[in-house]
Amino acid sequence: MPDITQIADVHLKTGFKFSTYVKTAVPISSEAQKVIGISVDDHDIMRVNGGSVDSVSI
């Protein structure tokens, strides 16, 4: 079963946006990385389409 990799929300009245990425307990397969563009490098930095993003660990 896949883990959640992103949590996002937009408040409809104010337009406030929230987004964070979640490091999974199980490594993301190379096939999944190609589809979703999300990976964690050898230094435990989460990347989306090659750029680093803030993330939390579970």
| Residue whose token pair is 């408040």 | 11
Reading the block at residue 13, the tokens are 């009245």
Phi, psi for 36 (deg, rounded to 5):
-95, -15
Phi, psi for 43 (deg, rounded to 5):
-100, 15
Q: What are the tens digits of pLDDT across the range 26-53?
A: 889 999 999 999 999 999 999 999 999 9
Asked whether residue 29 is assigned to any structural domain, the reply reads: yes
Asked whether residue 44 is assigned to any structural domain, the reply reads: yes
Asked whether residue 1 is assigned to any structural domain, the reply reads: no
Asked whether residue 52 is assigned to any structural domain, the reply reads: yes
Q: Which domain holds residue 46?
A: 6-57
Asked whether residue 11 is assigned to any structural domain, the reply reads: yes
Q: Is 47 exposed, middle or buried (0-12, 13-18, 19+ CB in 10 A)?
A: middle
What pLDDT is attached to residue 25? 86
Give me the percent of the chain exceeding a pLDDT of 70. 97
Q: Are 24 and 36 in contact (CB under 8 A)?
A: no
Domain count, the chain: 1
Asked whether residue 27 is assigned to any structural domain, the reply reads: yes
Give me the percent of the chain exceeding a pLDDT of 90. 76
